[in-house]
Amino acid sequence: MKFFLDTANLDEIREAASWGILDGVTTNPSLVQKEGKTFQWLIEEICRMVNGPVSAEVVSTDTAGMIQEGQDLAHIHPHVTVKIPFIKAGIPAVRRLSEKGIPVNVTLIFSPLQALMAAKVGASFVSPFVGRLDDIAHDGMALVGQIVEIFGNYDFNTEVLVASCRNPLHILEAARMGAGVATMPFKVLEQMIHHPLTDLGLKKFLEDWEKIPKELRTASAVKV
């Protein structure tokens, strides 16, 4: 499974990239707005940090506008994946951009049929929003399972990018279902690292190490 970070914060991206497990980044207008920086400069900086897809979203809602905006975004950097919401006008826009060789991430997917239609017009990624479905008492991960099952029946190159992940359990279930990508806030990525038994185990190891006399702690002090 690929791990994407859902943020536009350069410090978070820099740290996650330093761990060697970051495969891409997803942004949206809300995340960009929080950073208070010029949009193009921010996307360029993110692309320099990440050796993988960086989703940048269009704000036009008509087909011609999305196509033009998508082409402009793609010219910013080769890592840019154009993010288009699943609306009627977006369907032909995804087709045109895909035909031009521009990767597209179709966002705001809330049904398996939306995902299927996006795949049929050549989307590189479809992004089901699991957390937002959970918020309205729907099973977000059930949607992911349906999409993975449907895509497994056909010869699509579209990857399932699980979005709106609110906790590590979303990532775990997505991986078990075989989704190709999960995108998450930095805090969720950090939560995945920690386990109380790991912390307790390390604490015990270090406490026991301190009980060893200092003169016996080096490799040269080992007696045969």
C-alpha separations of 142 from 69, 164, 181 in Å: 33, 14, 16
Residue 29 C-beta-side C-alpha neighbours within 13 Å: 7
83 assigned to active site: yes
Instruction: For residue 143, count CB atoms less than 10 angstroms from its CB and return exposed for 0-12, middle for 13-18, buried for 19 or more.
Output: buried
- What is the C-alpha separation between 112 and 182, in angstroms, rounded? 17
At 177, which amino acid appears?
M
Classified as helix, coil or strand, 170 is helix
Q: Which of 34, 83, 100, 211 is catalytic?
A: 83
Residue with tokens 């791990």: 3
Catalytic residues: 83
